[in-house]
Chain A
Amino acid sequence: GAVVSQHPSRVICKSGTSVKIECRSLDFQATTMFWYRQFPKQSLMLMATSNEGSKATYEQGVEKDKFLINHASLTLSTLTVTSAHPEDSSFYICSAPQQGRYGYTFGSGTRLTVV
């Protein structure tokens, strides 16, 4: 079945540095990728939607310049957290619509810890 490979699974970075998270669709073309953030014991909140070859659409309250999204190919979408701060520590999950059927395929998630 459809698989979205997300890397890294865990990352610890220092405040002020940038971190890139990758999501690759392995056996299908993902023209759209959704990026979610999940704080501990909370639900998933949609941050942005990326579409291959065009600018990402950000949800209200999500800083475009801080969370850079690139969807340069049909199989790769990336989220870069720039100038990370401890409050950016969270679980980030990507998902892509499945092809030819209803539903979404989720990446395995990235646990970001900013120290």
Chain B
Amino acid sequence: ELKVEQNPLFLSMQEGKNYTIYCNYSTTSDRLYWYRQDPGKSLESLFVLLSNGAVKQEGRLMASLDTKARLSTLHITAAVHDLSATYFCAVDNWHNNDMRFGAGTRLTVKP
């Protein structure tokens, strides 16, 4: 069974600081996704990582994938309050083409 572990579950940061969220998964997978969820809202797609060594950046967020270690990271650079949200990683189960989600990281950026 595909399992996705994400940490930390809670993250409180000060504006301007850097931090990394980690996502480990248990079995070989095709694709790794990062999503953002604001309270009461659905998911917003941030990144899709398709291959070993893939790195994608958008603004203050950068995601990377190491398929050998079965690890993805989401790095936050110089955090701002607008980044406060819950971030989920998810992995495809290529047998069934469905996604399994990590537990989520609730990020709070304080002034």
Q: Which residues of A contact B (CB under 8 A)?
A: 6, 32, 34, 41-46, 49, 57, 93, 95, 97, 102-104, 106-109, 111
Contacts of B104 in A (CB 8 A): 42-43
Give the secondary structure class of A's interface.
Answer: strand
**Are A43 and B98 CB-contacts (below 8 A) given A93-B43, A108-B42?**
no
Q: Which residues of B contact A (CB under 8 A)?
A: 31, 33, 40-43, 45, 48, 50, 88, 96-104, 106
Name 4 extra pairs, CB < 8 A, besides A6-B42, A32-B97: A41-B106, A43-B101, A43-B102, A45-B101
Q: A49 and B101: CB pair below 8 A?
A: no
Q: A46 and B100: CB pair below 8 A?
A: yes
Q: A104 and B99: CB pair below 8 A?
A: yes
The minimal Cβ–Cβ distance linking A51 to chain B, given in whole angstroms, is 11
Contacts of A32 in B (CB 8 A): 97
Contacts of A34 in B (CB 8 A): 98-99
A102: contacting residue among B31, B88, B96, B102, CB under 8 A: B31
Q: B48 and A49: CB pair below 8 A?
A: no
